[in-house]
Amino acid sequence: MERLGRLAPGVKVSMAVEMTEAMVSVCMEGMRAQNPNMTEEELMERLRERLEWAKRSQRRDGRVR
């Protein structure tokens, strides 16, 4: 963790973006495997719903302001 604190802000942002993209990709692939007949548009809508649910859940639990 200490090493992360030493990184330049731009590097931290890049790492966060890469991790977010990886999470979205894994989530989409999982949904696609469970719902092979869903269109790309339906998958994106389902992803948005999941992300909003997670955000609301974290707010409710006091983890996100």
Q: How would you write the pLDDT of the chain (65 residues) with one tens digit per residue?
A: 578 778 999 999 999 999 999 999 999 999 999 999 999 999 999 999 988 987 888 788 887 65
Q: What are the b/e assignments for 14-25, b being 16+ CB within 10 Å?
A: eeeeeeeeeeee
Looking at this protein, which amino acid is placed at residue 40? E
- Identify the CA nearest to 51 among candidates 36, 38, 64: 64
What's the pLDDT at 3?
80
3-state secondary structure of 37: coil
Q: What is the pTM of this model?
A: 0.67
Domain ranges across the chain? 35-65
What's the pLDDT at 65?
54
What's the pLDDT at 1?
56
What's the pLDDT at 27?
92
- Identify the CA nearest to 46 among candidates 22, 54, 19: 54
Q: Whose structure tokens read 């649910």?
A: 53
